[in-house]
Structure 1
Amino acid sequence: MGGRTFWIEHALLPSGWAGDVCLRVEQGRIAQVETGVPPDAGTVRLGIVVPGLGNLHSHAFQRGMAGLAEAGGDQADSFWSWRELMYRFLDHLDPDSFQAIVELAYMEMLEAGFTRVGEFHYLHHGAGGRPYAERAEMCARVAAAAQATGIGLTLLPVFYAHSDFGGAPPTPAQARLTHDLEGFAALMEGAAAAISPLGDAVLGVAPHSLRATTPDELRALLHITPGPVHIHVAEQVAEVEACLRWSGQRPVQWLLEHVDVDGRWCLVHATHVLAEEIAGIAASGAVVGLCPITEANLGDGVFPVREFLRAGGRFGIGSDSNVLIDSAEELRLLEYGQRLRLRGRNVLAPPGGGSTGRFLFEQAVSGGSQALGAAHGLEVGGSADFVELRSGHPALQGGAGDAWLDSWLFAARNGAVESVWRRGGRLVEDGRHFRRDEIVQRYGPALRRVLDR
């Protein structure tokens, strides 16, 4: 990949907004940043530019379920009943239909301003738990979808061995997910090979949850790769209660006391936490992965973000079940959930006051970068991943600087993203991914194959 120069009218740099910014890109990375520079012939001219966001938690195949689990039954619906529906959907996926659904999800992430995804990938085996001839077949399909769409990939193969705390055997519905440690180590070797052609992909590991791993398995997994470690924790009240019965401790409390949780870790959801657990997570340097749309859709509850930030905590955002892929909506709902909980306005604004939108956006960029193991931000050395906002969008009129971010996140329903660039190459133009038509054409028949089985 050769060099390219961009001239940007307004750019959000780590130091703040700057005008007349010249960005030099070499081999997909930012080699030089200058401000106050007039445009030269041959430069790519852009208007309002912000860094690309990291989507730190995705189950991409669940995009195929979007809107199909919104009918109530004659009994109370919950996360646990939704999970049974998800298992039934998952059981009908073959590699080709799986890849088509993942491509659609990744395309929509790019159109929404996500430039890297953390794929919490747990569909490893064929029907009935039969291994594929290539053990990492489904990891390779995730990598192929990332290659086809251009999104940055942090692949997080999931270790899933048990159905409940204390090493309970997996259920038949979990057969396509499960491994022992030896088999999982072999899967990780295949996953590393699968992502190697992508250039800047990152390999991490994802113990699914404390329900799905024993303490000894969890500790062993930490040495299988030096990359990020992601885990579901304390998402549901029932999970907290079961952990208390098993260990006498709450899930986050148990993790902090029994494992060396540090900056490698992303604690996904962590919804149900006490004040001392909030302080412990913040002190550890771990990132909390918040997925407000999915957490609302599943009725999980609301994480105490304001208290966590005041303790010095770090967070990022993820699209999780991908029922709706919209980066602005994730941050909007994050703030609105706290407004409803605390009955105030701008409750996540920075200390001392200021733009809520910019504060949330920059926190999500930083937290996502840490959790995904890849630098985000418009600075030398970082990947040239950025988003151009549509300056002519009605919601962005009448303001400048931070007001553009506030308007994008809180007032622009559709069409605010003009273009999206990854490693200096344009993937989205006029709000549309460059391969949208062919990806959508493949998706429809693939989804019908799954639903008709």
Structure 2
Amino acid sequence: MRTAIHAKRALLPQGWASDVRIEVAYGQIHSVASGVTAQTDDETCNLLLPAVPNLHSHAFQRAMAGLAEVRGPGDDSFWSWRTLMYRFALSMSPDQVEAVAAQLYMEMLEAGFSRVGEFHYLHHDKDGQHYANIAEMAERVAAASADAGISLTLLPVFYAHSGFGGAAPSEGQRRFIHDLEAFNRQMEACRTLIESLPNGQLGIAPHSLRAATPDELTALVPLAKQGPIHIHVSEQVKEVEDCKESLGARPVEWLLHNMPVDERWCLIHATHMLEAETVEMAKRGAIAGLCPITEANLGDGIFDGVRFRSAGGRWGVGSDSNVLISVAQELRQLEYSQRLGLRSRNALTDPGRSTGRALFEEAARGGARALNAAASIQAGSDADFISLDVSSVPHLSDDQILDSWIFAETVTVDCVWSAGRKMVEQGRHIHRDRIDNRFRRAMQELMSQ
């Protein structure tokens, strides 16, 4: 079935265009024409953008959003936050995971995300044993994405150790842990699952260098086949110091010297890098998977975005712990972190160019590459779009509208299409009440345990 959307203004790969008509068939863009009038049955909007991929999510963690903001007896850090996260991970049933994931994915669509990279590591039953269906939890994530209507790049996580040197996993990690043989079976089940999911993509995610040994990582990479490879790396200073002690190199340095890192790889966080690592990562084409809100929430540090960009590096954004879901706020937090670190303004753009537009276009382009997708309004790309409500800013130009959305929030998301299906209208998901009611029931159960 073919449908069409007509926009008064649209952001195409070559720039802004007027009176743009986009024909959509089977979830992809069939054709794009500018300077044409709308036809009778066309959907119409004022300003249309390609939607943004969310390249890094742990869906189940949305259940604990806002619940880790009480200071403990000592200095709080990622490592103390992780203790609470483990408690939630150990308590959730498959039904609850599906309900939380569906709520999250609905919220992502309302925010303007069209595809999610689910870094999925909550694999097993509460006692740490495999479910009868080894991909039970992955199927729940896929069901949630289908229910909400967001496209899914599933990234099953290999997690075997609690620390460098192949340390035995802790009791709190029991629902995450695989050996290589079981993970092979998990990947095969996930491959079958993704083949049945419209617009689905499959990659692989070794959790980190502390959770997978070098030999295991070498064995894992071929399992990705042509799909993306994502890995947490250099998020905390402690991780860097432990890696140097165990492997004789910093985490990103070790990956670049020992693994076939290229444009299929997405290095999540990559916060603590030296100049040589930053430049070499950019040259290899690996995507920096930045999660600015989570990184700020956890006190991780500031990514060297200006240096990475100057070296030709590409990046995208993800919502990671899902404490807050917002395209605009992820991009704003990223830019503001650079401003605070460098004590300058408009850091991630070129002279004379809109910062909002530069941030938006890079997040769309880099996020799509990281998730094996396409995020641009041109024939052959996924039919994923955002329309903005510009009724309050008739005096602004196109780039000023993007700046106002990201930095002032005087512009909001109006409609969102995912794979050609209109899932959000007037800022509200079409199934919001049903999905939200299920989520509320699941949260009442979790909080009463």
Please report the RMSD computed on the Cα atoms of aligned residues, expressed in angstroms.
Answer: 0.9
Name the residue aligned to 2:400. 403
Write out aligned runs for 1:222-233 (5 A).
Answer: 222-226=221-225, 227-233=227-233
SS in 1 for 2:348: coil
Name the residue aligned to 2:317. 317
SS in 1 for 2:191: helix
Cα distance in 2 for partners of 1:372, 1:119 equals 10
Write out aligned runs for 1:27-42 (5 A).
Answer: 27-42=26-41
Residue 196 of structure 1 and its aligned partner are, at CA, apart by 2.4
Aligned residues with identical type, % of pairs: 54
Residue 202 of structure 1 and its aligned partner are, at CA, apart by 0.3
Equivalent residues of 2:23, 2:31 under 8 A apart: yes
Write out aligned runs for 1:185-264 (5 A).
Answer: 185-226=184-225, 227-264=227-264
Name the residue aligned to 1:295. 295
Cα distance in 2 for partners of 1:43, 1:126 equals 48
Q: Which amino acid aligns with 2:348?
A: L
Equivalent residues of 1:317, 1:330 under 8 A apart: yes
- Which consecutive unaligned segments of at least 5 residues does structure 1 have? none
Q: Does 1:424 align with 2:420?
A: yes
Cα distance in 1 for partners of 2:107, 2:138 equals 20
Q: Which amino acid aligns with 1:406?
A: D
Q: Does 1:92 align with 2:91?
A: yes
Name the residue aligned to 1:103. 102
Equivalent residues of 1:57, 1:117 under 8 A apart: yes
Q: Which amino acid aligns with 2:273?
A: V
Cα distance in 2 for partners of 1:281, 1:225 equals 20
Deviations 1:235-291 (A, max 9, x none): 000000000111221000000001110011000000000000001100111000000
Residue 293 of structure 1 and its aligned partner are, at CA, apart by 0.3
Name the residue aligned to 1:118. 117
In the TM superposition, structure 1's runs of 4+ consecutive aligned residues that sit over 6 Å from their partners are none
SS in 2 for 1:18: strand
Equivalent residues of 1:140, 1:195 under 8 A apart: no
Name the residue aligned to 2:380. 381
Equivalent residues of 2:6, 2:19 under 8 A apart: yes
Cα distance in 1 for partners of 2:194, 2:432 equals 23
Name the residue aligned to 2:340. 340
Deviations 1:126-160 (A, max 9, x none): 01201111110000000000100010100000000
Q: Which amino acid aligns with 2:396?
A: G
Q: Which moved more, 1:127-136 or 1:228-237?
A: 127-136
Q: Does 1:153 align with 2:152?
A: yes
Name the residue aligned to 1:353. 352
Q: Which amino acid aligns with 1:6?
A: I
Q: Which amino acid aligns with 1:22?
A: R
Q: Which amino acid aligns with 2:438?
A: R
SS in 1 for 2:422: strand
Residue 357 of structure 1 and its aligned partner are, at CA, apart by 0.5
Residue 349 of structure 1 and its aligned partner are, at CA, apart by 1.6
Cα distance in 2 for partners of 1:51, 1:27 equals 17
Which of 427, 441, 448 is the aligned partner of 1:445?
441
Q: Which amino acid aligns with 2:405?
A: W
Cα distance in 2 for partners of 1:5, 1:341 equals 45
Q: Which amino acid aligns with 1:410?
A: F
Cα distance in 2 for partners of 1:130, 1:40 equals 57
Name the residue aligned to 1:284. 284
SS in 2 for 1:21: strand
Cα distance in 2 for partners of 1:452, 1:185 equals 36
SS in 2 for 1:222: helix
Equivalent residues of 2:151, 2:419 under 8 A apart: no
Cα distance in 1 for partners of 2:68, 2:38 equals 51
Residue 225 of structure 1 and its aligned partner are, at CA, apart by 2.3
* Count of matched residue pairs: 448
Residue 416 of structure 1 and its aligned partner are, at CA, apart by 0.4
Residue 436 of structure 1 and its aligned partner are, at CA, apart by 0.5
Cα distance in 2 for partners of 1:9, 1:425 equals 20
Residue 194 of structure 1 and its aligned partner are, at CA, apart by 2.1
Residue 423 of structure 1 and its aligned partner are, at CA, apart by 1.7
Residue 197 of structure 1 and its aligned partner are, at CA, apart by 2.4
Q: Which amino acid aligns with 1:304?
A: D
Cα distance in 1 for partners of 2:311, 2:336 equals 20
Deviations 1:416-437 (A, max 9, x none): 0000011221100010001111
Q: Which amino acid aligns with 2:49?
A: V
Residue 106 of structure 1 and its aligned partner are, at CA, apart by 0.3
Name the residue aligned to 1:58. 57
